[in-house]
Structure 1
Amino acid sequence: MSTPVIDVRPRGLAIFLIVAGVIGWIAAFALTLDKFQLLQDPNAQLGCNLSILVQCGVNLNSWQGAILGFPNPIIGLAAWIAPIAVGVAVLAGAQFARWFWIAFNIGFLGALGFVIWLISQSIFVLGTLCPWCMVTWSVTIPSFIAVTSFTLRNGIIPASPAVRRIAGVVSSWIVVVTLGCYLVVAVIAQLRLDVLSYL
């Protein structure tokens, strides 16, 4: 017996996933190159080191920058291929089973949790803002919102009619919701690190 597929073709979501995936992959690639440079020369002046506050070096050299025992950017190099592949497949006419969309959504939930942890470590422990890391944060947040609102709105993840309606509203206001999330991070960073005084 074949697994039933979800008969939806979210072209807008597919295009967004491709764009977000490419941006996230580029950020991971840039961070990987910077890590290689630091391994060759621990005193190297990285292009992303803009000030004492805004820099990549501290993050890359910290244990938080290699949470699984290898540099975090390698996770990004592998993980960002998934949304690109899914986006391209949807544009090509592919339809996926319910379990696939749920697994994909869980993957983004894990990514969001990881990013929230990294944000907290950056702001409250390391006291720096890594430019390429922030690029990753900036695409992970709306990607999670977009995928989750899609799966809830279309009943892929079982939810009440009220939740599905809310998901529909959120999907129409993803930009606003995302900007709200950015604002929360910016306010926390300002209160903790006094970012404006370094500009």
Structure 2
Amino acid sequence: MKICPALLLATAAATAVLGLVSPAATTANAAPAARTAFAAQARSVGLNITEAKSLQTRVDGYLAKMGGTQVVLNKIDLGGGSEILLALPGERSARDLTTKSSSSSKAAALAPNVCRSYYFCAYSQKNFYGDAINMTKCEKRVVPYGAHGSWANNQSKGTSAAMFNRAGTWVYATPGAYSEDRDANWNPVHWVIPC
């Protein structure tokens, strides 16, 4: 990630205040320069110090459970096109802060998340709200929700996703795409293979 030196200087004080650069945080797959940029992003979307710290704690939790690299304030790249988008504090849906499209607007954060074509999407809340794990690569992924949420299977027509418990025992297979569950019980599910 290329970051403007002027941006680094301008946000250094905010970063210290937000507490986003700490030894624990820098080991969570984001360089200090990136954390400085995340602090600037937090300010630009109107998060206060408490909200920014709360969001970063959630990001760090996902990084610890799922791996990946934090690339934006609320986005983790899992590789192969898969990602996690976190809903900002006070918002119902996750939005991509890297785009200028209508889906990245604050108004879009009030509407349910949308699962893009060729993805299987797991949501932390019912009816496609909350944090979103968007999977496109055919590999086993942790889904660390453990409560009721939802999912949308928008992969190639007829493609089914398989769900497994912690021991690796099969729990459920979705109907072929397109299919969805607006009130999914994530409690028995630990892994999903989206194809």
> Relative contact order: is structure 1 or structure 2 higher (C-alpha 8 Å, sep ≥ 6)?
1
Larger Rg: 1
Higher strand share: 2
- Give the TM-score normalised by structure 2: 0.29
Higher helix share: 1
- Give the TM-score normalised by structure 1: 0.28
